[in-house]
Structure 1
Amino acid sequence: MTKTRGNWRTARATGALAPAIATALALVSGPSAAHMPYVLPSVFDAAGRDRVTLQASFTEDAFRPEIAVKDAPFEITGPNGKTVKLAAPTLTTDQAIVEAALPADGVYRLSSGQRIGRLSKMYRTGEVWTIVGEGKTPPAGATSVDVRSTTLANAYAVRGKPGAAGALAARAKALEIHPLGDPSSYAPGAAAAFEILYEGKPLASEPVTLFREAGFYDGRKQIATVNSDKAGRVTLTPADAGRYLMLVRYRTATPGAADAYASLPRRWRSRRSEAI
């Protein structure tokens, strides 16, 4: 077996929001996986409330919890742009639950924070890379690399009037689905624009998939996959009211990294893990 020095990273992100359209954004960096991360606030429009409860899980269907998101640095970014770490979540088998305070009116970004996955291996056959299953080894003579995935799930909630846009500023690091506009204003039939960024720079030709929660009941689960343009931008137009998840995955080499990897998935709701 030939081992290639260096690491690979994969990332993903998700997000969510409310009014008639709610979006959650999911970002995944690393090997592709069937399960997507998401964070889902108890409400997207928190009028009259001073806090919301977040549900965080990995799932194959939008907002149907299956595996709790563990070891994630949950955080909230307020209208003033300040990011605060949340308390340790309560864990069940299928979800993590954590409360977030909304002390003032405005739009908030609710996030899992950048979660680092376990170290694994990937090998190449021709131009195809394959993840090595647990307890297995790559084929003899195969070129292999260490690989680790990172995940980031976001959602946006609004208390009262949107006001300052501090929570909507780009992070400018890792994989990111950045809303180009106020996620709390998304509406059925209206276009919602985003830019896909990695380390603050636009990613061109990156596939972005939009999942529809109501598809669990009528079969239309995945309603769109579009590629980002040269400026890293995508525009999506949800036809119905409801909650949506937007997912992006990205894989890249990380030469010189201490321990490996890189690929990101994102999803969005009318907001950023994101659910729309």
Structure 2
Amino acid sequence: MKLRHLIASLALVSATASAHTIWVQPSQYTLSSNNTWIEVEVSAGNMTFVVDKPVSANNLKLFGPDGKARDIASRHQGKRQSLAEALLKEDGTYRLELSGAPRYMTFYKEKGEQKRLFADKVAAKGQLPKDATEVRSLMVNGKSLAFVTVNGPSDAALATTGHGLEVTLGTHPADLVEKEPVTFTFTLDGKPAKGLEVTMSRGGELYRNEPGRQHLTTNDQGQLTLTPAVAGRYLLETGLASQADGVKADQRRDNLTLTFEVGLQ
């Protein structure tokens, strides 16, 4: 399918779906004792960490220092945000991940009017009107991440899977410090995500005349290096359009957000 069709389809998604950025934000990123409870905010907004609407926490997962799943004790969806609670019993680094099955949309025109179905390419065949034209299907994958470290850092929960859009940090998330550079490496299905546009923002935008967002692009190795200017909580967001396998969708869109904390020098 031609690139202009892909661009048109993704523009249509932006116009019809929520433009809010989704994030996962724990109450603490580093803890000095185990058997400690954390609260996790799952929300979405147009300004960094300013909640606009809730996102279901049903697909929120917790992985322990050994990389294996752990229990989330409670989940609650409110009117503006969702909250979850978990007990971190062991030392090491935990991964919080909001992800689920791919979402599918099929776009088409009927008598010149643009329409869509929430169905993949196969399921849409039985639902499309006979006079549908310009039919194209899109698969959307979303993932939101955060890492919490208890006492000392570990690496198992940081491991990538080789599937979808993923990120690794050259510095452990528990060791990020202001004014020190950190290299991020992005991959799509295990291969370098070169030319990926990435935005990094910091909490407190509501109280600044200039949001202070940084817009960066990965190199041929899928890497970029940035230096957080000040301590605080940050949000990294990115997305990538590519061709799908053509079975259930013609195109795909992978979205990724990561929240992290930068300490004082």
Structure 1 residues 117 and 60 mapped into 2: Cα distance closer, same or farther (>3 Å)?
Answer: farther
Match of 1:36 in 2: 21
**Does the 8 A contact of 2:138 with 2:250 survive in 1?**
yes
Structure 1 residues 200 and 154 mapped into 2: Cα distance closer, same or farther (>3 Å)?
Answer: same
C-alpha separation between the residues in 2 aligned to 1:132 and 1:216?
36
C-alpha separation between the residues in 2 aligned to 1:82 and 1:232?
27
- Letter in structure 2 aligned against 1:43: Q
1:97 to 83, 89, 92: 83
2:192 to 202, 218, 236: 202
C-alpha separation between the residues in 1 aligned to 2:100 and 2:63?
14
Structure 1 residues 104 and 121 mapped into 2: Cα distance closer, same or farther (>3 Å)?
Answer: same
2:96 to 110, 128, 151: 110
C-alpha separation between the residues in 1 aligned to 2:46 and 2:101?
18
C-alpha separation between the residues in 2 aligned to 1:72 and 1:259?
25
Structure 2 counterparts to residues 116-155 of structure 1, below 5 A: 116-117=102-103, 119-121=105-107, 143-155=134-146
1:215 to 194, 205, 209: 205
Structure 1 residues 229 and 60 mapped into 2: Cα distance closer, same or farther (>3 Å)?
Answer: same
Runs of 5+ consecutive residues of structure 2 not aligned to the other structure: 7-11, 118-130
Match of 1:61 in 2: 47
**Does the 8 A contact of 1:108 with 1:156 survive in 2?**
yes
- SS of residue in 1 equivalent to 2:206: helix
- Letter in structure 2 aligned against 1:154: L
- SS of residue in 1 equivalent to 2:225: strand
Structure 1 residues 255 and 88 mapped into 2: Cα distance closer, same or farther (>3 Å)?
Answer: farther
Structure 1 residues 200 and 167 mapped into 2: Cα distance closer, same or farther (>3 Å)?
Answer: same
- SS of residue in 2 equivalent to 1:216: helix
C-alpha separation between the residues in 2 aligned to 1:56 and 1:118?
22
Q: Percent identity?
A: 22
The number of equivalent residue pairs is 234
**Does the 8 A contact of 1:44 with 1:157 survive in 2?**
yes
Structure 1 residues 148 and 38 mapped into 2: Cα distance closer, same or farther (>3 Å)?
Answer: same
* Displacement after TM superposition at 1:210 (Å): 0.4
Match of 1:246 in 2: 236
C-alpha separation between the residues in 2 aligned to 1:122 and 1:171?
34
C-alpha separation between the residues in 2 aligned to 1:213 and 1:71?
22
Match of 1:236 in 2: 226
**Does the 8 A contact of 1:105 with 1:158 survive in 2?**
yes
TM-score, normalised with respect to structure 2 = 0.77
Q: RMSD across aligned C-alpha pairs, in angstroms?
A: 3.1
C-alpha separation between the residues in 2 aligned to 1:193 and 1:51?
30
Instruction: Between 144-153 and 260-269, report the one with greater CA deviation.
Output: 260-269
Superimposed CA distance per residue, residues 177-219 of structure 1 (whole angstroms, 9 cap, x where no aligned partner): 2223300111111111111111111110110110111222113
C-alpha separation between the residues in 1 aligned to 2:33 and 2:88?
10
Structure 1 residues 60 and 37 mapped into 2: Cα distance closer, same or farther (>3 Å)?
Answer: same
**Does the 8 A contact of 1:244 with 1:269 survive in 2?**
yes
Q: Which has the larger radius of gyration?
A: 2
C-alpha separation between the residues in 1 aligned to 2:227 and 2:115?
37
TM-score, normalised with respect to structure 1 = 0.74
* Displacement after TM superposition at 1:85 (Å): 5.9
- Letter in structure 1 aligned against 2:175: S
Match of 2:215 in 1: 225
Structure 1 residues 204 and 45 mapped into 2: Cα distance closer, same or farther (>3 Å)?
Answer: same
- SS of residue in 2 equivalent to 1:252: strand
- Letter in structure 2 aligned against 1:176: E
Structure 1 residues 187 and 71 mapped into 2: Cα distance closer, same or farther (>3 Å)?
Answer: closer
